[in-house]
C-alpha cells in the first residue's frame, strides 16, 4: 500500500446512520444517501480515498437472504479490484451480528471487510456515525487485518464477525465479543490489533434455506411451538437451550419428532456467551439432545447458528459437513448418538422434565 494513496470501497445500504427524525412519521426514517453521509463525515480524505457505492436505504430489519447475497457480490467485486485496499460496509446495527457473520462465511477475499453503522441518527446531537466511518476506514487499510475476514467496527472496538454480539439496545458501545474479546481498538495513536482470529468457518453457498426456525427454551415449555414450526414448514431448527444445553423433556420429544422427518436440529445456548454441550444426561439435558441427533454449534449464538445452518443447507452440505461448519475449526464436538459415552437414550414421550 506504500507509494500510492490508499483506497477504500464504501458500500452504503442504509440504517440509522442514514436516518433523520420525520415529525409526521413520529420517528427516524431513511433520509440520507451515501453522498450525504460522506459530506457530513470530515477527515476521511486524510486517511484514504473513498470510492462510494450506494445500494440504497434499507433498514437492517428488512434485509433478506437474497439481499445479503447481492451485497456479498458487491463486496466480492470490490475485493477483486487491485486498486482497493479494503471495503467498508455501512448498514443498520439491528442485525450486524448476523449479516457480518453471513458475509464472513461466504466471502474468501484477502482485502479487509469492515461492517459499521451508527447507534444515533443524523438528527441527534453527537451522533456517532462520522466517528465510526473514520474508524472503519482506518481499519480497512490496516495491513494486519489482511485475511482476517469480516469484522465489525463501532465505538472504537474491532470485533470478529463470528463472536460479536449486540449487548444493549441503544448504548454506543453495545457491540462486544463475549467469548474471545475484541481483535483490537482504534485510539488516538491509530489501530491497535491485540490478537488474530485464527481459522474461520467458510461455506461456498449461493443460496440459503429460507425456513430455518429459531426457538428459545424457557421455564415450563412444552413441545407445541416446535411442532407448530414443523407443521408450518421448516428446513431446519435451531434451539436456544437454557444454560449449557438443557430443556424440558417435552421440547426434546418434539425435536425428536422433527428429526424423524429429516429436519436437522441444532442445539445452542440462550446465554450470550459460552456453548451448549453434553454435560447433562437427565431427560432434556444436552447429552440426550446429542444422542438423539442434534448438532452442537460451538459458541455461536442462536441467530448466528441459524445463519450457518441456512447457508449450509443452501450449499447442500451433508450432515457431517453441517456439523463441522456449526462446530467451527478445531472444535471438539459430539454430533452423533455414539459420541456421548454413557448417555441414556432420549425417550420419545412422557411429561416434561
Tens of pLDDT, residue by residue over 292-329, are 999 999 999 999 999 999 999 999 999 999 999 999 98
Is 353 inside a domain boundary? Answer: no
For 45, the 3-state DSSP assignment is helix
Is 206 inside a domain boundary? Answer: no
For residues 161 and 254, state if they share a domain. Answer: no
**E-state strands within 149-302:** 150-154, 157-160, 164-166, 175-177, 184-187, 190-193, 212-216, 236-241, 265-269, 295-296
For residues 25 and 153, state if they share a domain. Answer: yes
In angstroms, the CA 95 to CA 126 distance is 23
Is 344 inside a domain boundary? Answer: no
Residue whose C-alpha cell reads 414448514 in the numeric block: 233
For residues 111 and 246, state if they share a domain. Answer: no
Instruction: Please state the φ and ψ torsions of residue 254, each to the nearest 5 degrees.
Output: -65, -40
Provide the residue range defining the domain that includes 53: 7-193
Examine the fold and report which residue of 162, 193, 224 is the final residue of a domain before the chain moves on: 193
Is 105 inside a domain boundary? Answer: yes
Are residues 32 and 133 in contact, defined by beta-carbon separation less than 8 angstroms? no
**pLDDT tens string for the chain (353 positions)?**
455 789 999 999 999 999 999 999 999 999 999 999 999 999 999 999 999 999 999 999 999 999 999 999 999 999 999 999 999 999 999 999 999 999 999 999 999 999 999 999 999 999 999 999 999 999 999 999 999 999 999 999 999 999 999 999 999 999 999 999 999 999 988 999 999 998 999 999 999 999 999 999 999 999 999 999 999 999 999 999 999 999 999 999 999 999 999 999 999 999 999 999 999 999 999 999 999 999 999 999 999 999 999 999 999 999 999 999 999 987 644 333 333 333 334 433 333 33
Is 115 inside a domain boundary? Answer: yes
In angstroms, the CA 267 to CA 142 distance is 37
pLDDT in the model for residue 351: 31
List b or e across 73-107, with b for residues whose CB sees 16 or more CB atoms inside 10 angstroms.
Answer: ebbbebbeeeebbbbbbbbbbbbbbbbbbbbbbbb
pTM of the predicted structure, to 2 decimals: 0.92
For residues 262 and 167, state if they share a domain. Answer: no
Q: What is the pLDDT of residues 29-69, one digit of tens each?
A: 999 999 999 999 999 999 999 999 999 999 999 999 999 99
Examine the fold and report which residue of 163, 193, 223 is the final residue of a domain before the chain moves on: 193
From residue 351, how far is each of 60, 204, 278, 320 by CA, in Å? 41, 42, 21, 32
pLDDT in the model for residue 4: 72
Are residues 288 and 252 in contact, defined by beta-carbon separation less than 8 angstroms? yes
Return the C-alpha cell found at 217.
427454551
For residues 59 and 168, state if they share a domain. Answer: yes
Is 290 inside a domain boundary? Answer: yes
From residue 91, how far is each of 1, 127, 330 by CA, in Å? 27, 15, 32
User: How big is the CA angle at 301 (ends 95 and 246), to the nearest 5 degrees?
Assistant: 145
Known catalytic residues are 16
Q: How many domains does the chain fold into?
A: 2
For residues 141 and 248, state if they share a domain. Answer: no
Closest by CA position to 322, among listed 340, 296, 346: 296
CATH number (domain holding residue 312):
3.40.50.40
The sign of the torsion formed by the CA atoms of 107, 156, 64, 87 equals negative
pLDDT in the model for residue 335: 38
Is 345 inside a domain boundary? Answer: no
Amino acid at each position: 500500500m506504500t507509494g500510492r494513496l490508499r483506497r477504500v470501497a464504501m458500500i452504503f445500504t442504509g440504517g440509522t446512520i442514514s436516518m433523520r427524525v420525520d415529525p409526521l412519521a413520529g420517528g427516524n426514517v431513511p433520509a440520507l444517501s451515501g453522498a450525504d453521509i460522506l459530506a457530513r463525515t470530515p477527515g476521511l480524505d486524510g486517511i484514504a480515498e473513498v470510492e462510494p457505492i450506494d445500494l440504497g436505504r434499507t433498514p437492517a430489519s428488512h434485509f433478506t437472504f437474497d439481499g445479503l447475497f447481492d451485497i456479498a457480490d458487491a463486496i466480492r467485486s470490490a475485493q477483486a479490484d487491485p486498486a482497493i485496499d479494503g471495503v467498508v460496509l455501512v448498514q443498520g446495527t439491528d442485525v450486524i451480528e448476523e449479516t457480518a457473520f453471513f458475509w464472513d462465511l461466504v466471502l474468501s477475499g484477502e482485502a479487509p471487510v469492515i461492517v459499521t453503522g451508527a447507534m444515533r441518527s443524523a438528527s441527534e446531537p453527537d451522533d456517532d456515525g462520522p466517528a465510526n466511518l473514520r474508524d472503519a476506514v482506518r481499519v480497512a487499510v490496516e495491513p494486519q487485518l489482511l485475511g482476517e475476514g469480516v469484522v465489525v467496527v463501532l465505538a472504537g472496538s474491532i470485533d470478529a464477525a463470528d463472536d460479536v454480539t449486540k449487548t444493549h439496545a441503544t448504548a454506543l458501545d453495545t457491540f462486544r465479543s463475549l467469548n474471545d474479546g475484541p481483535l483490537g481498538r482504534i485510539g488516538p495513536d491509530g489501530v491497535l490489533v491485540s490478537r488474530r482470529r485464527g481459522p474461520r468457518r467458510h461455506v461456498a453457498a449461493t443460496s440459503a434455506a429460507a425456513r430455518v426456525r429459531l426457538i428459545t427454551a424457557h421455564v415450563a415449555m412444552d413441545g407445541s411451538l416446535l411442532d407448530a414450526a414443523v407443521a408450518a414448514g421448516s428446513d431446519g431448527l435451531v434451539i436456544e437451550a437454557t444454560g449449557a444445553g438443557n430443556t424440558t423433556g417435552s421440547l426434546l420429544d418434539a425435536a425428536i419428532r422433527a428429526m424423524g422427518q429429516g429436519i436437522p436440529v441444532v442445539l445452542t445456548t440462550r446465554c450470550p456467551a459460552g456453548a451448549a454441550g453434553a454435560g447433562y444426561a437427565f431427560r432434556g439435558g444436552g447429552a440426550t439432545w446429542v444422542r438423539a441427533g442434534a448438532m452442537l454449534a460451538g459458541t455461536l449464538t442462536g441467530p448466528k447458528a441459524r445463519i450457518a445452518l441456512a447457508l449450509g443447507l443452501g450449499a447442500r452440505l451433508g450432515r457431517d459437513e453441517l456439523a463441522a461448519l456449526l462446530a467451527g475449526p478445531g472444535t471438539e464436538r459430539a454430533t452423533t448418538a455414539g459420541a456421548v459415552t454413557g448417555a441414556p437414550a432420549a425417550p420419545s414421550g412422557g411429561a416434561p422434565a
